[in-house]
Structure formats: structure tokens, C-alpha cells
Structure 1
Amino acid sequence: MRLIILGPPGAGKGTQASRIADRLSIPAISTGDIFRANIKNETELGLQVKELLAAGRFVPDDVTNSIVENRLAEDDARNGFLLDGYPRTLEQVRALDDMLAKHGTELDKVLELVVDVDEVVGRLLRRAEIEGREDDTEDVIRERMRVYTEETAPLSAVYREKGLLVEVDGMGEVDEITARISDALGA
């Protein structure tokens, strides 16, 4: 299966992506994880990304598209994948469509975790405290939510028109959300 999981930062995409990927034996590909690894290793990309995230901004499309295309070319993604954190913009949707078309494949479904914004802000503040994430202040989180709504939420409409979008209630216990996603996938 070739899947995307959408939702605002803190919606639980990473947790659910890992569970779905394990169940379907496909890689969960998180652009956020790729970026965080570069930040931790203080690569040139990592330093650039750190500065952008501190300002509540996203990484430019051309950089993200290149990273995703390279990752999708790896052997473990040949028979399926779950993208978490990509695409975020309409330009990235077009780039992904082009990448998949080159290989004669297409997406199977796009899952969207629907959550309450104030709940997400609370989750991210708790996560910041537990994991020591300096970039997760309330102001930065709310700016990310604004940017998400402005740039990424329109992707739902695109995927709805293509008949790929499946909205899943992202509120509640992790196991409950996993069960809803499994039902939505028929898996």
C-alpha cells in the first residue's frame, strides 16, 4: 500500500504511522525524522532546518521533494510506504504525483487525522517538556498551526476530489485511533 497520513503537528501522525507501517510491513517515512536526524548531526541541512523551525516555518519544497524522492527510491519502499509529514503543499502534491508516475504507481489512500487545535497545542507542549524540544513553544506551535491551515489543509480538498481522502477521528486513546485507522484501511 502507498499511503499518506495528514494532520496538524501533534495530531499523532508519527505514532499512528509507525503502527500502520508495522502492520502493513511497509516503511513509515517521516520528513520530520529525517530533518531531526540532520539537526542532531549538525549537517548543513540540519542547521538550515533548525533555523526555519525555530521561526515556525517549513523547509522549502525543493529540498523536501529531493529528500522524499531519494527515500522512495530505496528498496524497502518499492512495494509500498506511508508518508508522514509530506506532502505539505500543493507543489509537493504535484511533485509526488510526478515521482509516482515515473515508476508507474499511485497512492492508495490518504488518511487525515482530525483533531481539536487546543488539544494539539496541549499535546505538543507536553511533548516539548518530556523530550526537551526547544522549538515547541506555545507561540511557535500556534504559528505552525496557522501555517498548516493556510498551506497544508487545502491538500485535503485535492485528495477528496481524487477519491483518496479518508478522515479519521484523531481524538482519544492511541489504541482507539489505531483501530479507527485499521477500519478505514480495511486492514
Structure 2
Amino acid sequence: MRIILIGPPGAGKGTQAALLHSELGVPHISTGVLFRQHVDGQTPLGRQAGRYLDTGDLVPDRITTEMVAQRLAEPDARQGFLLDGFPRTLPQARTLSELLAADGHRLDAAVEYTVPDEVLTERLLSRARTDDTPETIRNRQQVYRTQTAPLLRFYADILLTVDAAGPAADIAEKTLGLLRPCG
């Protein structure tokens, strides 16, 4: 199965991907992990991405998309994947569709995790990351609403929505229940 996970920061996409990947037998591909691997490995893409990451800026679509394209070409991802953190924008979504179509593939599902704002804020503040302040959380939620939420319309024909408030194992079961008819 080829699946993307969509949701605001704190919705639990990474947690769900970690729980789902073994059940589905596909790799969990996180852009955050890709960035760290490329930066730590000092690859050409990593050096380019590092300049943006060091200043707290978003890594441009061109660099992110190339990292994802390279990862999707690896043998373990040829039969499917769970993408966490990509696509985040409509241009990235269009590029992903083109990448998959070039190999005769398409996405099987886009899973949207919904959580009330107050629960998201509580989750993020409890993570104890230094960049998780109420102000940065509000900003990231706004960025999600303006840049990423439009993906919900783009993927409307394959969109599955899961209420992600509650225990992670229960959310994974709900997700698997919705995905079974897709695969």
C-alpha cells in the first residue's frame, strides 16, 4: 500500500506510522528522518537542506522532493510506503503524483488525523521540546491550515479521516479498519 499521513503538528502521524508500518509491511518514510540522514551523511542534498534547517527555515520543495524520490526508489519502498511529513503542500502533492505515475503507481489512501486544537496544544507542550512554546504551536497550526490542509481537497477521492484523540493503539486499529478495504 502507498499511503500518506496528513494532520497538524501533534496529531500523532509519526506515532501512527510507527505502529502501522509493521502491520502493513511497508516502510515508514519520514521527511524529518530523511533530513537528518542526509545532513549527518553530508550528502549534497543534506548540505543544501542544512543551510535552511540551521536558520529554522523550511527546506525548499525541490530539495525535499528529491530526497523523497531517492527514498521511494529504494527496494523496500517499491511495493509501498507510509509517508509522514510529505507532501505538505499542493506542489509537493502534484510532484508525488507525477513520481508515482512515472512508475505506473498511485496512492492508495491519504489518512487525515483530526484532533481538537486544545488537545494538540496539550500534546505538544507535554513533549518538552524547547521549540514547543504556545506561540510556535499556534504558528505551526496556522501554517498547517494554510499550506497543508488544502491537500484534503486534492486527495478527496482517497481521503480517510480518523479521530486521533485517544490512545495510540485504538487510533491505529481505527486506521487499519479503514485501510483494509483499500488494499
TM-score, scaled relative to structure 1: 0.88
> Contact (CA 8 Å) 2:6, 2:110: kept in 1 or not?
yes
- Whether contact under 8 Å (2:111, 2:161) holds in the other structure is yes
> Contact 1:39 / 1:47 at 8 angstroms: preserved in 2?
no
Q: Percent identity?
A: 45
SS in 2 for 1:186: helix
Q: Secondary structure at the match of 1:134?
A: coil
The DSSP-based 3-state class of the residue aligned with 1:166 is strand
1:169 maps to 163
Structure 1 residues 139, 50: CA separation in 2 closer, same or farther (over 3 Å shift)? Answer: farther
Matched, 1:69 2:69: yes
SS in 2 for 1:104: coil
Q: Is the 8 Å Cα contact of residues 52 and 58 (structure 2) preserved in structure 1?
A: no
Residue 16 (1) aligns with residue 16 (2) = yes
1:148 to 138, 144, 147: 144
Alignment of 1:78-157 (within 5 A): 78-127=78-127, 129=128, 133-157=129-153
Task: Indicate the RMSD between aligned Cα atoms, in angstroms.
Answer: 1.8
TM-score normalized by structure 2? 0.89
Note the residue ranges of structure 2 that are not aligned, 5 or more in a row.
Answer: none
- State the Cα distance separating 1:137 from its structure 2 match: 2.2
What displacement does 1:185 show?
A: 0.8
In the alignment, structure 1 segments of 5+ residues that lack a partner are: none
Letter in 2 for 1:141: I
Q: Distance in 2 between matches of 1:186 and 1:154?
A: 25
Distance 1:37 1:125, change over 3 A: farther
